[in-house]
Amino acid sequence: MTRDDDFIGHLRSVARCLVPKGLYVIEMARPPEPGDPPAVSVWSTRDDNGVLDAKWEEQGAPDLRARTRRYKLRLAYKPSNGAPTVVEDTAQQRDYSREQLQALVERSGVFRIDQILGELDASIDYDHPDAWRIVAILERR
C-alpha cells in the first residue's frame, strides 16, 4: 500500500469485516530519521519441529518523493527432519508518519484512532524513548 488511496481502500475493506466498535491493530515500521543507516532486522525462532531464521533489510536508496523504500525478506525454515525451505521476496514499503496515518484514518471515515503506540507493549507509547514501531489501534465507527 504505497499510495493514499490504497491505504484508505484497505481500511474500508477491513471495516466491512468488523462489527461496530471492533478493533483493528496495525503494526508498521517507524520511518527512519534523516541520516539513519539502512534498516536491517535479523531474528530466529525455534519450536519442537525446527528453526525459522528471518532477515529483513532495506535495498538501495529510498524514493524520498514517494516516501517508499524497497525491502528484501528472506525466511529460511530448517526442520528437524527433512529439507530446508527458503522463501525470498522484495517489495516496496511506504514510510507513514504518525500524522500521515492519522490523516488517512480520518479520511477513510470508517475508523477512529483509539491509541498509537511505539511497540506492541502497551506501556510504550509513541513518544517513549524505546519506541521503534508504529502500532495503531483503530476502532470501527
* pTM of the complete model: 0.85
pLDDT at 33: 83
Helix 98-108 × helix 4-16 angle, to 10°: 50
- The answer to whether residue 34 scores a pLDDT higher than 90 is no
Instruction: Report the pLDDT value the prediction gives residue 134, as an integer from 0 to 100.
Output: 96
Q: Rounded CA gap, 78 and 88, in Å? A: 15
Q: How confident is the model at residue 141 (pLDDT cuts 50, 70, 90)?
A: very high
Q: Give domain limits for the chain.
A: 1-31+96-141, 32-94
CA distance 79 to 127: 40
pLDDT of residue 128: 96
Q: What's the whole-number mean pLDDT along residues 25-45?
A: 91
3-state secondary structure of 127: coil
Q: Provide the CATH number for the domain formed by 1-31+96-141 in this structure.
A: 3.40.50.150
In this prediction, residues 118-141 reach a mean pLDDT of 96
Looking at residues 34-54, what average pLDDT do you find?
94
- What is the grid cell recorded at 51? 528453526
Fold classification of 32-94 is: N-terminal domain of TfIIb (2.20.25)
Cβ-Cβ contacts under 8 Å for 42 (sequence gap 6 or more):
53, 54, 55, 56
pLDDT in tens, 84-114: 999 999 999 999 999 999 999 999 999 999 9
